[in-house]
Amino acid sequence: MHYIITRARYLKDYKIELQFKDGKVGIVDLENYKNRGGVFYAFKDLEYFKNFSLDGITLTWFDEVDIAPERLYEIAQ
């Protein structure tokens, strides 16, 4: 499972720098998620977005919202 996130650092706006178990480092821009609705509606509040944590596999927001680590791996640039 090379896509497990081992480190995450907020940069600015909706950008987060991620490091994965296989050593890949990339930046994800999740701004478009705030317009998806549903559980991602809370991302419209940037302060909410900034308060992510790692659950041992992926990013999570207050144990309510997460994004599949394989998707984050795929979009990390």
Q: How far is CA 66 from CA 33, 41, 42, 53, in A?
A: 11, 13, 12, 10
Give the structural domain span for 15. Answer: 5-75
If pLDDT is split at 50, 70 and 90, which confidence band does 14 have?
Answer: very high
Domain count, the chain: 1
Instruction: List the CATH number of the domain containing 14.
Output: 3.30.2020.10
Span 58-74, average pLDDT: 95
pLDDT tens track for 3-13: 999 999 999 99
Give the global pTM. 0.94
If pLDDT is split at 50, 70 and 90, which confidence band does 1 have?
Answer: confident
- Rounded CA separation 73/57 (Å): 12
State yes or no: pLDDT of 2 exceeds 90: no
